[in-house]
Amino acid sequence: MANSYDYDVIVLGGGPGGYTAAIRAAQLGLKTALVEKENLGGVCLNWGCIPSKTLIRNAEIVHILGRGHEFGFHFDNLTLDYSVAVKRSRQNADRLVKGVGFLMKKNKIDVIQGTGALTDPHTVQVEGKVYSTGHFILATGARASLLPGITVDGERVLTYRQAIVQDKLPASIVVVGAGPIGMEFAYVYNAYGVKVTVVEMLPHILPNEDEEVAEVVAKAFRKQGVRLLDNTRTESVTVTATGVQIALKNVTSGDAETVEADQVLIAIGVRPNSEGIGLEAAGVTTDRGRVPVNSVMRTNVPHIYAIGDLTGKLALAHVASAQGIVAAETIAGAETLPIDDYSNMPRCTYCTPQVASLGMTEAQAKAQGYEVNTGKFPFQANGKALGLGEREGFIKIISDARYGEILGIHMVGPEVTELLPEISLARMMELTPAEIARNVHAHPTLSEVIMEAAHAAMGHSLNM
């Protein structure tokens, strides 16, 4: 690396992608700095993945307590303190953020606190100070998308950022958007007794997931008391003296309805943080706010790389981390594994029942001209699931009938987010359902459902 610059690599943004990229760059001998305007760990550690999973765990326990008759216990004096759940979530987030700070020191990465903006292709200005570098890795993440004309006030109108830290729950809430963020918050709120309505403009909840999977989640949520309105557009949100009024319209029928609630949570996705970071000054091109990159995360400016939500690929922490490693290794000239196909990336939703998937749906595979074999196995026939009292859902494997290539997997049920890595690894190593079926799975475990689905894909299901 050239010695005329202050650093070999400067990473702009300290979220999962940014701090992972900085660590990998430092490991490879590059003099590295990381610029962060707020908190190390970014949205994921501070306002998203980690605190939300803590709240979900609390909600799961509350949900199980409500099923006491199934397990042979009962009580009359149960009290729920949601503020304790929020406090626990903040403690877990703070613990991991401190851990990231330790990793920065361990790897001798300079952390520059403040808002950074590129002033030319090799220079960034942070709070009035200027730093130069041979390479940039842009990892500025994303923020919540909003509906036109809606202002977030943190009291009546929320995004995930405000919702994750409020320690007093409303009596009622409307969640606009039935993707992972919306469904996870809906699950938590409902478990704690909030009257929840979920509104989704597309034909089914979890619109990026297999429709059969979405149907299982929808049935479970309705059974839990959540009102789901799919195929419904949010026309307007009006703040009143006592709460909010949400005007809705059915996309197909045109029927209109107004729903009143104490709060509304806008969870319709995220938009990249590409403004104000000096992309124009550095000559980096954008496409509708996203920064296009190639398979090794290089932008149109050869020494400037972009990763994570900023690229508009998949707004997931583990995708950002994987991209960050590829970018750092490319800069260092180390062997790496370029990312060409993002359909291989695992996708997870942590409500109950959980959802996990990767690859194509059956409909997508057929649309691309594949002749497919589909293997499906339900959790209600699995001994471990019955023991847990979690029998909802199934695992479905989709494979190419000609070569046996696994094209996709779609899972809904207990702890399926923990089962996904077996298929992710199988896809990476180009394994087939035949090899998964022959791989001995311990009994009784939830993982046996993957084995059974693989047998079913081969046409010889054993336990169905």
Give the helix, strand, coil percentages of the chain, each rounded to 5: 35, 25, 40
Rounded Cα gap, residues 352 and 391, in angstroms: 11
User: Is 460 part of the annotated catalytic residue set?
Assistant: no
Query: Using CA atoms, how far apart are residues 389 and 395, in angstroms rounded to an integer?
Result: 17
H helices present in 416-458, as ranges = 416-428, 433-438, 448-457
Q: Tokens 């300290």: give the residue.
A: 14
In terms of C-beta density within 10 A (0-12 exposed, 13-18 middle, 19 or more buried), how is residue 115 classed? middle
Q: Are 263 and 158 in contact (CB under 8 A)?
A: yes
User: 263-266 and 172-176: which strand pairing?
Assistant: parallel
CA dihedral (228, 271, 309, 263) positive or negative: negative
Non-local CB neighbours of 302 within 8 Å, separated by 6+ positions:
none
Q: Which member of 303, 441, 443, 460 is catalytic?
A: 443
Cβ-contact 324, 336 below 8 angstroms: no
Residue owning tokens 């400016």: 301
Please tell me what DSSP assigns to residue 274. -
Q: How far apart are CA 233 and CA 259, in angstroms?
A: 12
Residue pair 42/13 in contact by the 8 Å Cβ criterion: yes
**Kind plus residue range of the DSSP H or E element containing 280:** helix 279-282
Q: Which are the catalytic amino acids?
A: 443
